[in-house]
Amino acid sequence: MISVIIPARNEVQTIRAVVEFVRSDPRVTQVVVIDDGSIDGTVEAARLAGATTISSSLLGKGASMEDGVRSASEETLLFLDGDLTDLAPDLVDRMVAPLLAGEADMVKARFVRQAGRVTVLTARPLLSAFFPELDQYEQPLGGIIAARRRVLERLTFENDYGVDVALLIDAVMSGLRVVQVDIGSIEHRSQTLDRLGDMALQVSRTILDRAARYRRLGASRVREAAERERRHQATRPIPSEEQGKCAGLVLFDMDGTLVDERFVELLARETGRSRGLAAYLDRAELAPEERTRGIGRLFRGVRQQTFQDVAKRMVLSPGAVETVVQLRQLGWRVGVITDSFFVAADVVRRRVFADFCLAHLLHFRDGRATGDVALNPEMSCGLGCPEHVLCKRNALGQLLDRLRLTLDRVIAVGDSDNDVCLLRAAGCGIAFRPKSELARGAAAHVVEDTLTRVIEIVGGLGLNLSAASAGDSRPGRSSRAWWARGGR
């Protein structure tokens, strides 16, 4: 049997429906609404719906929740907010099932909602910095929680909007089994900006307080958070809200294409490692993945700032910025794809104003390279290229799926043997100042002077924005089945 606890303050418009909703579940034997000083008739509406109502012992959501635990008659407890609407019919069952099955000590709801600004702008960044093990919980501030009474009696209830995230942190740090379940889409009442500011302040204070208690404050934690963010950016190049809204995709190589130099050669010269680099560059007998990892080890100990400074000083190819900006103005998504490292590629990407970049991730600790390299998962996914395990062409299949494009809307621009597979696979391959006859022969067009020629080529293709923006999802050469066969 289940006791449902609903802290409420001035929720007269929704509280009756919430109470009636949970009372319709035969396993709910008690519904307790803890009133936090309402003046709008919330208490009367809750009573009419069949709830037991009590006054909070102290102003604040946390105190109301703790009062609810003391007043509950059952061992299985479910907390709901009083302003919820559009609840899934089986919400109660979903929330308590892991408890009844003995699979969890606490259950947090995962749901889709329109708001959540304090979660996105305050809670998640701080949790990522100090409690990265909580990244998996999508609604750390959510008030929909199920737990055993004996579990909650061991935890501390903060007396403000920090209560929910504090319970989550304390439960996880205590070794309790905390799972999250999907309850679909729900709606909360919108809050004023002032109220959101108060929430953000209280949530921030709570997370920082817990970070101090668990000895997680310190500059090293912030640096670790920055490294995790870099990894996330390297593996999620296109924001989900931008997927599927473009005229087409243009992929530029970095070294020799967007920039007129080779990044690792400049970095080796800067750090006195040119002789060591010669053992890896232009060695056809080395597998690409072996070469990339070897170069990563070569730069072990180099400061992250040095990587970025060298990337900032690289000479851009003629017309690089103008070309990328014009393509984006025409509705094309523009990406940088390179065999180099993300720490440099992202700098170049920002310099030319491209949308995203794909590169290999060199790890850093305390601001210095560890020498360890994580190969870009898009390029090493094993889809697309029949010849190479690690290949730029492998990334195309996943990018096409995300953007809902066909290959005739893909343009690739490169200059060397490393770009050949990509140039051949794209709907239109452009060799820019090609360094080899193989690259020249793989492309449909060759450009020797300025990258602005790419704009002219795009204009001559006759592709328009309207067909792509309509979400053309016709089965064709971009289908995963075709891609898995190597694009044949």
**254 has a pLDDT exceeding 80:** yes
- pLDDT of 157 reads 92
Query: Which of the four pLDDT bands, split at 50, 70 and 90, describes residue 190?
Result: low
Which contacts qualify for 323-328: CB closer than 8 Å, 24 or more apart? 323/451, 323/452, 323/454, 323/455, 324/252, 324/352, 324/353, 324/354, 325/353, 326/452, 326/455, 327/250, 327/454, 327/455, 327/458, 328/353, 328/355
% of residues, the chain, pLDDT over 90: 58
Contact 333, 238 (CB under 8 A): yes
CATH code, domain carrying 242:
3.40.50.1000
In sequence order, which residues have a C-beta less than 8 Å from that of residue 433 and are 6 or more positions away?
Answer: 256, 257, 317, 415, 447, 448
| Tens of pLDDT, residues 145-157 | 999 999 999 999 9
- The answer on 453 and 370 residing in a single domain is yes
**What are the C-alpha distances in Å from 200 to residues 107, 115, 167, 196, 257?**
23, 14, 17, 6, 45
- The answer on 170 and 237 residing in a single domain is no
Task: Give the residue from 462, 481, 464 showing the smallest Cα distance to 472.
Answer: 464
**181 has a pLDDT exceeding 80:** yes
In sequence order, which residues have a C-beta less than 8 Å from that of residue 84 and are 6 or more positions away?
Answer: 14, 18, 144, 186, 187, 188
Domain boundary among 217, 244, 274: 217
Q: Determine the average pLDDT of the residues in 292-308.
A: 95
- The answer on 243 and 202 residing in a single domain is no
The C-alpha atoms of residue 403 and residue 133 are separated, in whole angstroms, by: 31
- The answer on 332 and 200 residing in a single domain is no
The C-alpha atoms of residue 415 and residue 438 are separated, in whole angstroms, by: 10
Neighbours of 31 (CB within 10 A): 24
| Tens of pLDDT, residues 467-486 | 344 344 333 333 333 333 34
**338 has a pLDDT exceeding 50:** yes
CA angle 426, 431, 467 (to 5 degrees): 35
Contact 134, 206 (CB under 8 A): no
Contact 328, 237 (CB under 8 A): no
In sequence order, which residues have a C-beta less than 8 Å from that of residue 338 and are 6 or more positions away?
Answer: 253, 254, 255, 345, 357, 358, 359
- The answer on 149 and 38 residing in a single domain is yes
- The answer on 259 and 209 residing in a single domain is no
- The answer on 236 and 200 residing in a single domain is no
Residues of the domain holding 461: 232-484
> Nearest 5°: phi and psi at 208?
-65, -35
- pLDDT of 483 reads 37
In a domain, 127, yes or no: yes
Query: Which of the four pLDDT bands, split at 50, 70 and 90, describes residue 383?
Result: low
In sequence order, which residues have a C-beta less than 8 Å from that of residue 353 and are 6 or more positions away?
Answer: 321, 324, 325, 328
Gyration radius from the chain CA atoms: 28
Contact 274, 265 (CB under 8 A): yes
Terminal-residue alpha carbon distance, the chain: 60
- The answer on 151 and 284 residing in a single domain is no
Counted domains in the chain: 2
- The answer on 166 and 45 residing in a single domain is yes
In a domain, 224, yes or no: no
- The answer on 241 and 212 residing in a single domain is no
- pLDDT of 112 reads 73
- pLDDT of 480 reads 38
- The answer on 241 and 195 residing in a single domain is no
Domain boundary among 191, 217, 243: 217
DSSP string, 35-71: ESS--SSHHHHHHHTT-EEEE-SSSSHHHHHHHHHHH
Task: Give the residue from 338, 335, 340 showing the smallest Cα distance to 353.
Answer: 335
- pLDDT of 20 reads 96
- pLDDT of 37 reads 84
Neighbours of 228 (CB within 10 A): 14
Domain boundary among 217, 240, 256: 217
406-419 CB burial, b ≥16 within 10 A, e <16: bbbbbbbbbbbbbb
**182 has a pLDDT exceeding 70:** yes
In a domain, 75, yes or no: yes
**Average pLDDT for the chain:** 86
Q: Determine the average pLDDT of the residues in 453-468.
A: 71
| Tens of pLDDT, residues 48-96 | 999 999 998 887 889 899 999 999 999 999 999 998 888 889 999 999 9
In a domain, 226, yes or no: no
> Nearest 5°: phi and psi at 298?
-60, -35
**103 has a pLDDT exceeding 90:** yes
% of residues, the chain, pLDDT over 70: 87
In a domain, 177, yes or no: yes
DSSP string, 121-175: IIIHHHHHHH-GGGTT-S-TT---EEEEHHHHTTS---SSTTHHHHHHHHHHHTT
**Length of the chain as a residue count:** 488
**423 has a pLDDT exceeding 90:** yes
| Tens of pLDDT, residues 311-333 | 999 999 999 999 998 998 888 99
CATH code, domain carrying 207:
3.90.550.10
3-class DSSP state of 181: strand
- The answer on 261 and 196 residing in a single domain is no
